Chains A and B, each alone.
Chain A
Amino acid sequence: MTSAQSPFPPGSYPVVIIGSGPGGLQTSYFLTQWGIDHALLSRDEAPGGMFQRYPLFQRLVTWTKPHALDDRRTREYERYDWNSLLGTELENRALVPALMDGSSYFPSRAEMHGGITEFATRAGLQASYGTEWESTRLTEGGFTVTTNKGEYHAGLLIIAVGMTEPWKPSNIEGIEQAPHYIEVGEPAQYAGKRVFIIGKRNSGFEIADALLPWVKSMVIASPRPARFSVFVKSTAAARARYIQPYEDHVLGGGNLVLDAAVPRIERHNGGYLVHTSGTTHPGDLVIEADEVIAATGFATPLNDLPQLGVSTFYQGRLPAQTPFWESASTPGIYFAGSITQGAIGMKKYGIPSNSAAVHGFRYNSKVLAAHIAVTHFGKQPQRRKIAPQDLVEYLLQEASSAPELWNQQSYLALVVTLDRKQGLQDEGFWPLSHFVDAGGEDAIALTVETDDQGDIHPAIYVRSGANVGEHLLESHPLHQFGTKENRIRLASVLQPFIGKQEGSK
């Protein structure tokens, strides 16, 4: 361990984490809990990652309910607080709501950044700040990371740099002339102007919403019709709080949402001509604009990792990963934070995980730390015995309240194994896709899932020999799944695990 003045000088470490945003900090926290020595490197001068700068218009799209059904000190409260990092100790829990001023249940950027900083301080998480990751090479027993401060040798690398590199598609001629989302200035700069925004996801609608009181007219365009979270049941679609520009369009208010490809942008009379080709409607339009903004998304700044063999997909924007967030092609390189959205999982009904946001990837970090501790450092898995007669009630209680299951639906699963000698053992949370595909001892996995009708219900996966079966339980209007019908159904499904003594009370 190093001094508080200069933590983690260049040298050899079992694990090196790169990035001090919420993903890097959360992973460092859980690795510390497992007693895994590691170095945390960050090019920033302070913790917080992207929340030091974004979102541009100062308020998040992820909620924290300061007053919820469960006490802030409980694990169950995490389900309602999407922004705090996870702490085992009471004093490290629910730090974001403690900083919120009550004006919104979406924290401001400053409140979020404050919560992360406070977590790092209270948990004693150190990092070598101002340390720029310059290059990487494979060396015997691991990796060597070259930084502006020197070389770090690591058995395992964990990349937690966020999906933070501004990205523009290459098939729009002249796109380089349009500022990216991150280059947008104060809304007042757009007063009285005609603005064309390329992109209908959250960043596009975030800008559109902020510019509504300022612009003369606005066009928001992309090839696909706008999709909103409330209809597609996913936080990956544009969030409800940004729906106002769309209402303006629907009611004929003067701003327009256009389904069109943009093949070309050209400068014209101090402004722009934007060439569009309709997709859901036929015909080409040329639209004059004073400003064009490319809200076209982000990529992962992987540095030279592709040259080391790290394969990517999504037009090179995400690394291909195993269910435990390890590079699919370069073993020993793991990912944490929002990059873990590249481990897509089963994506049932097309609904993705929440791994792109803190309330999803904070649990991935917990599972990742346990996986690394057990598979690379020989730590004993944390298991807990369950009496057969308690299994049904335990699972239904967890389905009703476990934040891991609610925030990572159809993605993380609570796993209980049946060991012939040890009996039933609670294994904690695993990626569901690993459970159903990897094989192994007889076991069950519990998830919470939302289907295409918006029905939220528990699901049980039973692994017996080489077979894995799916069993869906009933939903409940109040999401309280411990009904008589579900007890009977679950007891029947779990008969091989619990015998005949339970289920019909």
Chain B
Amino acid sequence: MRTDGDITQILSGIGLFTDLARPQLEEIAHTFDEQYFNPGERILRKGFTGTGFYVIVEGEASIEVEGRPIARLGRGDFFGEISILLGEPPSTDVVAISPLTCLVLAGSDVQEFLEGHPKVMFRILQAEAAKLRSTVR
């Protein structure tokens, strides 16, 4: 009998979920899927349909445009939300640059999830605002 791996402890250390109590963290653990990516594997592919919302649990990824890295993502960062919110395929690639573990939520589940977890939605808005400010500066 195996009993290991308290995923809620890992989740409680991720900024996006920092406002959630333990039962909600457990719900997150059961709602998101855990997915592993090999170095060099693409997670988001420009122009491809059916993508999801990803939160990095461990490892690093690179946002790439035409094969050129433009930003690096690490533990606690998230991606994929823009194309889901806009209903369009991604405009960039995201590529694993180390062994990468992500929590993944299917695009079609994102709206219901955010409406049910307003504190997570607020954290996402904060992060989007910070990205917007750094873009226009």
Give A contacts to B, CB under 8 Å: 165-171, 175-176, 180, 222-224, 259-261, 263, 277-280, 299, 311, 313-317, 320-322, 328-329, 342, 344, 346-352, 410, 433, 436-437, 449, 451-452, 466, 468-470, 472
Residue of B22, B40, B42 touching A263 (CB-CB under 8 A): B22
Q: Kindly list 18 other residue pairs between chains A and B, CB separation below 8 angstroms, not including A170-B3, A451-B50.
A: A166-B1, A168-B2, A170-B4, A171-B9, A222-B30, A223-B26, A223-B27, A261-B27, A320-B36, A320-B99, A329-B99, A346-B50, A349-B49, A350-B33, A350-B106, A436-B48, A452-B106, A466-B67
Residue of B5, B27, B67 touching A316 (CB-CB under 8 A): B5
Give B contacts to A, CB under 8 Å: 1-9, 22-24, 26-27, 29-31, 33-36, 38, 40-42, 45, 47-52, 67, 89, 99, 101, 104-109, 116
Known interface pairs A329-B99, A350-B52, A433-B41; A171-B26 also in contact (CB < 8 Å): yes
Residue of A278, A316, A347, A449 touching B4 (CB-CB under 8 A): A316
A169 touches B50 (CB 8 A): no
B99 touches A451 (CB 8 A): no
Q: How many A-B residue pairs have CB under 8 A?
A: 131
B24 touches A279 (CB 8 A): yes
- In the assembly, what is the distance between CA of A316 and CA of B2, in Å? 10
21 A-B contacts, Cβ less than 8 Å apart? A168-B2, A169-B5, A222-B30, A263-B23, A278-B23, A279-B27, A280-B27, A311-B36, A314-B36, A315-B7, A322-B38, A347-B104, A348-B49, A349-B106, A350-B50, A350-B108, A350-B109, A352-B33, A436-B45, A452-B107, A469-B47
- In the assembly, what is the distance between CA of A224 and CA of B94, in Å? 29
B2 touches A410 (CB 8 A): no
A264 to chain B, nearest CB (A): 12
Q: Hey, which chain A residues are within 8 Å of B47, CB to CB? A: 469-470
A223 touches B106 (CB 8 A): no
Q: Hey, which chain A residues are within 8 Å of B30, CB to CB? A: 222-224
Q: Hey, which chain A residues are within 8 Å of B33, CB to CB? A: 347, 350, 352
B65 to chain A, nearest CB (A): 13
- In the assembly, what is the distance between CA of A67 and CA of B30, in Å? 38
- In the assembly, what is the distance between CA of A449 and CA of B8, in Å? 33
Residue of B27, B35, B105, B108 touching A344 (CB-CB under 8 A): B35
- In the assembly, what is the distance between CA of A467 and CA of B68, in Å? 14
- In the assembly, what is the distance between CA of A351 and CA of B104, in Å? 11
- In the assembly, what is the distance between CA of A346 and CA of B50, in Å? 9
- In the assembly, what is the distance between CA of A308 and CA of B77, in Å? 31
Determine the residue in chain A with the shortest Cβ distance to B10: A315
B107 to chain A, nearest CB (A): 7
- In the assembly, what is the distance between CA of A311 and CA of B36, in Å? 10
Known interface pairs A279-B27, A349-B50, A437-B40; A165-B106 also in contact (CB < 8 Å): no
Q: Hey, which chain B residues are within 8 Å of A466, CB to CB? A: 67
B22 touches A224 (CB 8 A): no
- In the assembly, what is the distance between CA of A82 and CA of B1, in Å? 30
Q: Hey, which chain B residues are within 8 Å of A280, CB to CB? A: 27, 116
